[in-house]
Amino acid sequence: MCGIVGYIGHRKATDVIIKGLQRLEYRGYDSAGVAIVNGKIRIEKQKGKVAQLVKVISANPMQGSSGIGHTRWATHGEPNDVNAHPHTGQKKKFALVHNGIIENYDAIRKNLESKGHVFESQTDTEVLAHLIEEIYEISDTDFITSVQLALNEVDGTFGIAVVNNDDPDTIIVARRGSPLLLGIGEGEHFIASDASPIIEYTNKVVYLDDDEMAIINRDSYEVRTIKNVTLNKAVHELEMSIEQIEKAGFPHFMLKEIYEQPDTIADCMRGRLVVSENRIQLGGIAHVLDRIVNADRIIIAACGTSWHAGLVGEYLFEYLAKKKVEVEYASEFRYQNPLIDEKDVMIVISQSGETADTLAAVREAKSKGALVLGICNVVGSTIARETDAGVYTHAGPEIGVASTKAFTAQVTVLSLMAIMIGQKNGALSEKKSAKLIKALNEIPEKVKAILEHADDIKKMSELFTYAPNFLYLGRSYNFPVALEGALKLKEISYIHAEGYPAAEMKHGPIALIDQHMPVVVIAATDHTNDKMISNIEEVRARKGRVIAIANENNSEVANLAEYTIRIPETHDCFTPLLTVIPLQLISYYIAVNRKCDVDQPRNLAKSVTVE
The residues of the shown chain that bind ligand M6R, judged by CB under 6 A, are 303-306, 350-352, 355, 358, 401-403, 491, 604, 607-608
Task: Please report how close the Cβ of residue 71 comes to ligand M6R at its closest, in angstroms.
Answer: 17
What CA–CA distance (Å, rounded) separates 103 from 607? 20
Q: Which is nearer to ligand M6R, 154 or 395 (CB)?
A: 395
Cβ nearer to ligand M6R, comparing 44 with 398: 398
Q: State the angle between helix axes of 430-441 and 405-424 in degrees (0 to 180), rounded to the nearest 10.
A: 160
Tally of CA atoms within 13 A in the half-sphere of 301 that contains its CB: 32
- Among residues 38, 21, 34, 121, which one has the least CA distance to residue 80? 121
Q: What is the DSSP annotation of 430-483? A: HHHHHHHHHHHHTHHHHHHHHHTTHHHHHHHHHTTTT-SEEEEEE-GGGHHHHH
The DSSP code sequence of 6-50 is: EEESSS-HHHHHHHHHHHTGGG--SEEEEEEEESEEEEEEEES-H
In the DSSP assignment, the letter for residue 577 is H
Q: Distance between CA atoms of 27 and 542, rounded to whole angstroms?
A: 41
For residue 116, give the 3-state DSSP assignment: coil
Q: Among residues 304 and 518, whose Cβ is nearest to ligand M6R? A: 304
If DSSP states are collapsed to H, E and C, what string results for 364-406?
HHHHCCCEEEEEECCCCCHHHHHCCEEEECCCCCCCCCCCCHH
Residue nearer to ligand M6R on the CB measure, 503 or 604: 604
* Active-site entry in 323, 446, 488, 606: 606
Q: Shortest Cβ distance from residue 401 to ligand M6R (Å)? A: 5
CB of 439 to ligand M6R, least distance (A): 26
- CB neighbours of 114 closer than 8 A, spacing ≥ 6? none
Q: Are strands 171-176 and 297-302 parallel, antiparallel or unpaired?
A: unpaired
Nearest approach in angstroms of CB 173 to ligand M6R is 22
* Residue 345: CB minimum distance to ligand M6R, A: 19
Q: What angle do CA 79, 84, 89 make, to 5 degrees?
A: 140
Q: Residue 353: left (phi > 0), alpha (psi -120 to 50), or beta?
A: left
Select 150 or 192, whichever has its Cβ closest to ligand M6R: 192
Q: Are 605 and 1 in contact (CB under 8 A)?
A: yes
By beta carbon distance, the residue nearest ligand M6R is 304
Residue 230 host element (H or E)? strand 230-231
Annotate 313-377 with three-state secondary structure: HHHHHHHHCCCCEEEEEHHHHHHHCCCCCCCEEEEEEECCCCCHHHHHHHHHHHHCCCEEEEEEC
CB of 312 to ligand M6R, least distance (A): 14
Residue 360's identity, in one-letter code, is: A
Query: Could you confirm whether 606 is annotated as catalytic?
Result: yes
Cβ nearer to ligand M6R, comparing 65 with 607: 607
Of 351 and 493, the one with the shorter C-beta distance to ligand M6R is: 351
Q: 161 has which bridge partners?
A: 97, 173
Nearest residue (CB) to ligand M6R, 86 versus 179 = 179
In terms of CB distance, is 86 or 601 closer to ligand M6R? 601
Q: How far apart are CA 364 and CA 357, in angstroms?
A: 11
- Is there a contact between 473 and 535 (Cβ–Cβ < 8 Å)? yes
Cβ-contact 159, 180 below 8 angstroms? yes
Q: Which residues of 493-502 are buried (b: 16+ CB within 10 A; e: fewer)?
A: bebebbbbbb
Looking at beta carbons only, is 89 or 353 nearer to ligand M6R? 353
In 3D space, the residue among 464, 482, 555, 558 whose CA is nearest the CA of residue 520 turns out to be 482
Closest approach, Cβ 604 to ligand M6R, in A, equals: 6
What is d(CA 115, CA 256) in angstroms, rounded to the nearest whole number?
54
The residues assigned a catalytic role are: 2, 606
